């Protein structure tokens, strides 16, 4: 018998419900899909195990999937990102929900095991921990945490018809599995859809990462030297928003084209070694490991603030920071003060985990409306194409991607230009030239 839920405190449900009401009002595309799914029941009789940040926007998504006939089990995709009141509300609504803020890594994998114990037909992941765990069990790879998962999940993988992935780091891991021929079912890279990565990553994370830093430190961005590590989809959004608040923004980037793009956009581009000396606030958004490490902490100014917006807590090397420090003190929720040997103080936010979800509320729901509408439609596509897809990482089909953008435009009351017949045939022709 699988536990029905694992949440901090079910008595928080009413407060969680109010947050979900707020989110629903900002998510008109999911509202439209809800009506459609209630009629068509595309997920009738199917089980979905989802590993997502348990936020008010996620609650809207799982309710829409339920209204389309799915039985949803939800677990947290980060030990610190769960909104406990929302988790309580979902538990009270009858969802199998496993997650609370402040989980240990053991709790975290236990929750993944519980969500997988529902024997899903479809998986939804954010960071690929659920998919990787299921694959490790199927391959009988027992590491410290997946060894805790019930071995009877081993054959569960054969039942899964497909999955979706929400974030860049997860897509990277799944592509690595595909390259090694290890992927056992098709996965759609929702992250890479235009309606996701042009909005969620730069605008959603861009704004909410700064929101998290401001809530944690009450810091003034104007006049500060802000170092943004990574000028990809997320980092470019953070850099633009920090500049908009009056910060002097420096970008650290190893790829020539991205570095040139940052330079031409008017940012100072520098090596991490140089940036370490001038930064007041550092924000990592790379999906990579050890971006800020010992040699950089040794160069930093007194009072430097460190925050990470990347998916994993490996971008700022916490062990190196601990080694440099004589003491570490939690001086405020989500803020740890590291005192270094020479007296300098360094503030690490959110234990190096996603600053926007730990110190603030994550992306505004209206941007998650796009990402989660894509999730729902990608799941529907997997159901409709059951048995026809290979064990690969697929892009979101263009019709779904532009269909979601169209629904959002309609909800926002934004008009599109309509091409004339002459214009349509002109852009498809080659005969007419200069
Ligand atoms: N916080 C959130 O809510 C949220 C939302 C979306 C994505 N993410 C995560 O943010 C991270 C970045 O995502 P993205 O979509 O911007 O990826 P991306 O691939 O578009 O960009 C990453 C950039 O980092 C650069 N980079 C790699 N190593 C670096 C290093 N050592 N120093 C400086 N730059 C380096 C790469 O060259 C690339 O330009 C991922 O982990 C992703 O999963 C988080």
Identify the pLDDT of residue 142: 82
Identify the pLDDT of residue 227: 99
For the chain, the domains span: 5-198+363-412, 202-358
CA distance 432 to 429: 7
Identify the pLDDT of residue 3: 81
Place of tokens 């529902």: 118
354 lines ligand 1 (CB under 6 A): yes
225 lines ligand 1 (CB under 6 A): no
255 lines ligand 1 (CB under 6 A): yes
Q: Out of 129, 189, 201, 279, give the residue to mutate to test ligand 1, the one with the largest number of ligand atoms within 8 Å of its CB.
A: 201
229 lines ligand 1 (CB under 6 A): yes
Digit-by-digit pLDDT tens for the chain (434 residues) are 678 999 999 999 999 999 999 999 999 999 999 999 999 999 999 999 999 999 999 999 999 999 999 999 999 999 999 999 999 999 999 999 999 999 999 999 999 999 999 999 999 999 999 999 999 999 988 888 888 888 788 888 999 999 999 999 999 999 999 999 999 999 999 999 999 999 999 999 999 999 999 999 999 999 999 999 999 999 999 999 999 999 999 999 999 999 999 999 999 999 999 999 999 999 999 999 999 999 999 999 999 999 999 999 999 999 999 999 999 999 999 999 999 999 999 999 999 999 999 999 999 999 999 999 999 999 999 999 999 999 999 999 999 999 999 999 999 999 999 999 999 999 999 999 99
Q: Out of 269, 275, 310, 358, give the residue to mutate to test ligand 1, the one with the largest number of ligand atoms within 8 Å of its CB.
A: 310
Residue spans of beta strands (DSSP E) within 147-223: 162-165, 187-189
Residue spans of beta strands (DSSP E) within 150-257: 162-165, 187-189, 225-229, 248-252
pLDDT tens digit sequence for 246-288: 999 999 999 999 999 999 999 999 999 999 999 999 999 999 9
Q: Which residues pair with 348 in a beta bridge?
A: 306, 336
| Fold annotation for 5-198+363-412 | Rossmann fold (3.40.50)
CATH, domain 202-358, list 3.40.50.300, 3.40.630.30, 3.60.15.10, 3.40.50.720: 3.40.50.720
The yes-or-no answer to whether 5-198+363-412 and 202-358 have a common fold is yes
Give the pair of three-digit tokens for residue 364.
């505004």
**By C-alpha distance, which of 288, 359, 352, 368 is closest to 320?**
352
- Relative to the CA of 356, which ligand 1 atom is closest? 1
253 lines ligand 1 (CB under 6 A): yes
Identify the pLDDT of residue 151: 78
Give the pair of three-digit tokens for residue 279.
């930064």
CA distance 15 to 389: 42
Spatial contact of 224 and 200, defined as CB atoms under 8 Å apart? no
Pairing of β 325-332 and β 335-340: antiparallel
- SS3 of residue 45 by DSSP: coil
309 lines ligand 1 (CB under 6 A): yes
Q: Out of 167, 249, 250, give the residue to mutate to test ligand 1, the one with the largest number of ligand atoms within 8 Å of its CB.
A: 167
Neighbours of 90 (CB within 10 A): 26
Instruction: Collect all residues with Cβ–Cβ distance below 8 Å to 307 and sequence separation of at least 6.
Output: 209, 212, 213, 216, 281, 282, 283, 284, 349, 350, 355, 359
Q: What percent of the chain has pLDDT over 70?
A: 100
DSSP H helical ranges for 221-317: 233-244, 256-264, 272-278, 294-297
Identify the pLDDT of residue 1: 62
DSSP H helical ranges for 302-364: 318-324, 355-358
201 lines ligand 1 (CB under 6 A): yes
């Amino acid at each position: 018998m699988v536990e029905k839920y694992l949440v901090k405190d079910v008595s928080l449900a009413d407060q969680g419900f109010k947050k979900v009401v707020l989110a629903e009002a900002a998510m008109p595309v999911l509202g439209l899909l809800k009506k459609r799914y209630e009629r068509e029941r595309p997920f009738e009789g199917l089980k979905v195990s989802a590993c997502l940040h348990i936020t008010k926007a996620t609650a809207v998504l799982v309710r829409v999937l339920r209204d389309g006939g799915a039985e949803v089990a939800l677990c947290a995709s980060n030990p610190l990102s769960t909104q406990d009141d929302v988790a309580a509300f979902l538990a009270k609504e009858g969802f199998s929900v496993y997650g609370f803020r402040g989980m240990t890594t053991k709790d975290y994998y236990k929750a993944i095991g519980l969500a997988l114990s529902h024997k899903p037909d479809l998986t939804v992941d954010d960071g690929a921990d659920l998919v990787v765990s299921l694959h490790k069990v199927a391959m009988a790879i027992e590491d410290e945490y997946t060894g805790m998962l019930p071995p009877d999940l081993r054959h569960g993988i054969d039942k899964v018809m497909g999955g979706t992935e929400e974030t860049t780091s997860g897509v990277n891991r799944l592509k690595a599995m595909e390259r090694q021929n290890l992927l056992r079912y098709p996965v759609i890279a929702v992250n890479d859809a235009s309606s996701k990565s042009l909005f969620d990553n730069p605008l959603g994370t861009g704004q909410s990462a700064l929101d998290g830093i401001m809530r944690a430190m009450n810091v003034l961005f104007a006049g500060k030297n802000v170092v943004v590590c990574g000028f990809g989809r997320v980092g470019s959004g953070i850099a633009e928003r920090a500049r908009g608040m009056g910060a002097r923004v420096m970008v650290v980037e190893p790829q020539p084209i991205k570095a040139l793009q940052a330079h031409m956009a008017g940012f100072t581009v520098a090596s991490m070694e140089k940036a370490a000396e001038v930064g007041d606030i550092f924000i990592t958004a790379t999906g990579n490991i050890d971006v800020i490490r010992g040699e950089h902490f040794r160069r930093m100014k007194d009072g430097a603030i460190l925050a990470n917006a990347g998916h994993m807590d490996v971008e700022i090397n916490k062990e190196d920071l601990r080694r440099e420090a004589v003491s570490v003190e939690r001086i405020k929720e989500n803020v740890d003060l590291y005192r270094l040997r020479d007296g300098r103080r360094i503030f690490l936010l959110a234990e190096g985990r996603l600053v926007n979800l730990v110190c603030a509320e994550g992306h505004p729901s209206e941007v998650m409306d796009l990402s989660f509408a894509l999730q729902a439609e990608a799941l529907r596509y997997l159901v409709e194409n059951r048995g026809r897809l290979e064990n690969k990482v697929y892009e979101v089909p263009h019709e779904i991607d532009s269909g979601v953008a169209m629904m959002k435009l309609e909800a926002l009351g934004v008009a599109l230009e309509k091409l004339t017949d002459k214009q349509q045939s002109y852009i498809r022709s080659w005969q007419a030239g200069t």
